[in-house]
Structure 1
């Protein structure tokens, strides 16, 4: 997916640098982060390293949106270079989180039902026990992070613009998305696309067009766009 994004966004001068989470992909040998704060700390350094001193935006899908938000806040709080924009996709605002949904115990049956509802998992995974086990372990770890999330109190609002993108058929509703505007003292925008929770795959071209439209006017973002892994 990211390879396609690189090709599609290159003409707009936007680079794509995926940031992988521990316990997944090339970092599968690493343990899952125990909580939200720890995971944000683990991601902040790699994001700065990937930017390589260039202007950058942070993009996160679903739980990745919360993580990108946390990284942006942490960078601002410690006086590091802040992103020129934060893009949150399929992610309810920090003040609109449904913590009950992610509360344990979470049975395998419940997680499988969620995967099927979100429609972002290849159908073949459900018939392969080992692949399904790995997928459920990742999802359970993600839900643990979401359940433990608490909106930071105190501190300044983000100084960068926030652009929220949501799917019309997703369970996330307009008030959940609009509340992102409370997290910045800069520009806030929303875009609604066709599709469910994984509209970034169902309607990839429309999603990428939206990114270009929101990021390209800020030409200084053109050197690098950093992405938290979709979840």
Structure 2
């Protein structure tokens, strides 16, 4: 493709956006990966985590204004998918430029989330059990008291962000919504299919072998599907623009 598309990538709960850095060498050059780091982790470790969903979404939309110039899409995995949805809704409500597509991975639809899911995840033992169940956390984190403390503090804050989300039942987003899911994840299929109600444009759902972190377990196949879905959206948009010119 002649020009690049910025792909803002939002991390899952407890994680840093550095989880997406390797994609820069695995995806086509026309996809410009923009890892969106959240306060309290990675390069922003010195900052306090934001624990309110709406506040975090508003902050991210302000911070990423430069990255959202020109053509861009927003991707998120798990909690990141919820934040990506929140950002798309906020951009629409504030009259800002919209992403060419919303790409959501490993997450129930906003209308089908279980707000009680995080109610009992308040102590270290339950948070550690959740990390073990989900997979995806390196063993060196569990082996280091310091890394474990940082991870648990961030995870607890992120769970409060998720718990504070309230579905407003807004009109479908005026853009394609592409969803990716793992067949062995513990999210029921109908809660993932419900993303279709948020799509004002095209909708797709790609399934992969593996659990919640199928994006790592099936990385090659997943990234191929991601680039294919995004490529079709961009090609369609550019064709429409040329037709109107």
Same-fold call, TM > 0.5?
yes
Aligned to 1:89: 105
Aligned-pair distance for 1:157?
2.0
Distance 1:220-1:22 versus aligned 2 partners, 3 A rule: farther
TM-score (norm 2): 0.85
Aligned to 1:59: 75
Q: How does 1:109-124 map to 2 (within 5 A)?
A: 109-124=125-140
Distance 2:134 2:119 in 1: 18
Aligned to 1:180: 195
Aligned-pair distance for 1:105?
5.7
Which SS does the other structure have where 1:216 is aligned? helix
Q: Deviations over 1:135-154 (max 9, x none)?
A: 1111111111111110124x
Which SS does the other structure have where 2:103 is aligned? strand
Whether the aligned pair in 2 keeps the contact of 1:14 and 1:221 (CA below 8 Å) is no
Aligned to 1:212: 227
TM-score (norm 1): 0.90
Give structure 1 regions of 4+ aligned residues with deviation exceeding 6 angstroms.
none
Distance 1:221-1:25 versus aligned 2 partners, 3 A rule: farther
Distance 1:47 1:169 in 2: 33
- Relative contact order (C-alpha < 8 Å, sep 6+): which is higher? 1
Distance 1:78-1:125 versus aligned 2 partners, 3 A rule: same
Distance 1:132 1:105 in 2: 16
Q: Which consecutive unaligned segments of at least 5 residues does structure 2 have?
A: 1-18, 238-245
Aligned-pair distance for 1:184?
2.1
> How many positions carry a matched residue from both structures?
219
Q: Which consecutive unaligned segments of at least 5 residues does structure 1 have?
A: 223-231
Please tell me the root mean square deviation across aligned C-alpha atoms, in Å.
1.7
Distance 2:191 2:45 in 1: 32
Aligned-pair distance for 1:15?
1.2
